[in-house]
Amino acid sequence: MTRRCAALCWTGAGASTAAPPGLDPAAYVMALFEDVAEVLHGLAGVDSLVLCPVGGSGAVRRLLWPDVPVAELSECSVAAAVAVARERGYGQVAVVAADAPDLPQLVLAKLFQAMARSPVAVAPAEGGAVAVGVGLPAPSWLPALDLDSGQIVAGLRAAAPDPALVEVTPGWRRLRVPADVRLLDPGLEGWEATRALLAGLRSPQGA
């Protein structure tokens, strides 16, 4: 049976410009990360993996379940996640954006299903992808990937010897700019950390 893993790259909490006015950017990014990590941990038959910069594991371990491994690397990237997943013996890896707190598990399930047919699968998002799946070992034609590239599907299909080797699956939204919080649906389950942070922002001053 193919071993599968979902990888999440933590690049730090200090550089975000996505936080709505009134929220601490670092706390906001941490909340998004925590909610995505919770989504990944709940996937049946899929292990979670977190990558972070050297010396950064302490900042994220307290947000994760004890059984989630954290790898410290000099570079946190899609390529690094693919390499670590292969080193750990996985046959499939989904590299997931850390700013999609309400990501449905079904989106990732369909990504893994697609990897049974194609070596590469993409769950798109506006301006890039919310997740990329790669069958391991990665195909030799796989180019450098960036989840923030608006041309990720076109770039992958141009690199592949046959465009059909790159499958596009249902996508989802990412919270990349402050106004994107309006996309969150309060009726959806999950995203508890982000929900709690936003609830504090909306509470009356001093309440």
Per DSSP, the three-state class of 110 is: helix
Residues in the chain: 207
What's the mean pLDDT when you consider all of the chain? 92
pLDDT of 17 strictly over 80 = no
> Which pLDDT tens digit goes with each residue over 165-177?
999 999 999 999 9
Q: What angle do CA 191, 44, 133 make, to 5 degrees?
A: 80
Residue located via tokens 């790159």: 166
Residue 106, CA atoms < 13 Å, CB-side half-sphere:
2
Per DSSP, the three-state class of 60 is: helix
Per DSSP, the three-state class of 123 is: strand
**pLDDT given for residue 206 in this prediction:** 39
Q: Which CATH code fits 4-198?
A: 3.90.550.10
Q: CA–CA separation, 5 vs 91, rounded Å?
A: 8
**pLDDT given for residue 13 in this prediction:** 63
pLDDT of 80 strictly over 70 = yes
pTM of the predicted model over 0.85: yes
As beta bridge partners, residue 148 has none
From 73-77, 146-150, 151-155, 156-160, the region with the lowest mean pLDDT: 73-77
Q: CA–CA separation, 203 vs 23, rounded Å?
A: 12
**pLDDT given for residue 207 in this prediction:** 35
Percent of the chain with pLDDT over 70: 95
pLDDT of 58 strictly over 90 = no
Q: How confident is the model at residue 59 (pLDDT cuts 50, 70, 90)?
A: confident
Q: Where are the domains of the chain?
A: 4-198
